[in-house]
Structure 1
């Protein structure tokens, strides 16, 4: 883990993990299923100023979008463990290009590139690494949902690819505070934990 406190905004990317309408918004899949999280819904207004500051300083914003691809009959191809956890998921949820699939409106204007993913990590079977390297990014700040799922997996994959990793602790959420705190403590081994405000302040200076 780097101890350097300096940040070059032009070589830094904010990775926003899965802050999509079907997870967060009224009428989305998780809202319909009673699984929408208040902690997750609080994230976009906290992250938007960070994204704005990074963009103003010449940085890069990437978002991952969890995607359920339809089979030949139009039914979503859902992994068995997810179907067991979220039996309410149905045809039309998280379909690429749909409103539910989209990143929430508070963050969408800042995004330079979105990648569609089918598993936890934003790097798994996506073009994220290819894009970041061509944008000359060497530092990633990760936020989104869930802390012990998509965020943790993305952070570890970034670390394995030799990016400098920061995790915005108050820019993430999990199903419980305990799960969130445990995941953040574990991520200290591969990156720097910081807050949205502290990260934005470092970019501004």
Structure 2
């Protein structure tokens, strides 16, 4: 597989952060309240931050894609049936646009662009294609949660759009390590895979 950094142009590259939001990660967020966290997920912001800092310094972009529960009548969130079954603790105000829980975690702020998403893929019924085209971004570095859900769907959708996408192998996580490992193995056939330290080193070499 071609070297992702062989013709690296930082100004045309974005770190695409999938769902690293307060309601998923923060001790006061919705998932912590429901006992649905995982230590592998909690560790991600500190691991991803050096990559984000390096890409910003090189002139690249940071895009935060954020899972959203759209408020319906009376402010009650529109929750898909399958999600309601597995996450019954979700309630009014969780993952609400503009709310604290919806926001990218502080450690990774600021994002150059924020894209609301309502399904696994950051491309599905969102403005991400528009943002990439208008900003001149045609190469992605993907990270976030969960590896076998939002990350995998987003990486595959980037692939079918012809967007070279590097997956940060330790910059994403799942609720179970075996699911993470299996998904990274499968996605290695779609595009290049590298750990965060390796990606940071290659980015800084371009500064």
Give TM-score scaled by structure 1 length. 0.97
Pairing of 1:172-187 with structure 2 (within 5 A): 172-187=172-187
Which residue pairs with 1:53 in the alignment?
A: 54
Asked if 1:190 is matched to 2:190, the reply is yes
- Please tell me whether the aligned partners of residues 37 and 175 of structure 2 are also in contact (alpha carbons under 8 angstroms): no
Q: Secondary structure at 1:14's aligned position in 2? A: strand
Which residue pairs with 2:43 in the alignment?
A: 42
Deviation at 1:2, TM superposition (A): 3.2
Asked if 1:92 is matched to 2:132, the reply is no
Gaps of 5+ in 2: none
Deviation at 1:70, TM superposition (A): 1.3
How many equivalent residue pairs?
204
CA displacement 1:118-146 (0-9 Å, x = unmatched): 00011111111111122211210100000
Deviation larger for 69-78 or 11-20: 69-78
Deviation at 1:3, TM superposition (A): 4.0
CA displacement 1:145-179 (0-9 Å, x = unmatched): 00000000010011111100110000000011110
- Please tell me whether the aligned partners of residues 4 and 192 of structure 2 are also in contact (alpha carbons under 8 angstroms): no
- Please tell me whether the aligned partners of residues 4 and 166 of structure 2 are also in contact (alpha carbons under 8 angstroms): no
CA distance in 2, matches of 1:59, 1:50: 11
CA RMSD, aligned part only? 1.0
Which residue pairs with 1:133 in the alignment?
A: 133
Question: Which runs of structure 1 show a deviation greater than 6 angstroms over 4 or more consecutive aligned residues?
Answer: none
Deviation at 1:73, TM superposition (A): 2.3
Asked if 1:106 is matched to 2:102, the reply is no
Pairing of 1:118-129 with structure 2 (within 5 A): 118-129=118-129
- Please tell me whether the aligned partners of residues 11 and 60 of structure 2 are also in contact (alpha carbons under 8 angstroms): yes
Gaps of 5+ in 1: none
CA distance in 2, matches of 1:21, 1:5: 31
Q: Secondary structure at 2:20's aligned position in 1? A: coil
CA displacement 1:34-64 (0-9 Å, x = unmatched): 0012111100011111101000101011011
Deviation at 1:4, TM superposition (A): 5.0
Give TM-score scaled by structure 2 length. 0.96
- Please tell me whether the aligned partners of residues 171 and 195 of structure 1 are also in contact (alpha carbons under 8 angstroms): yes
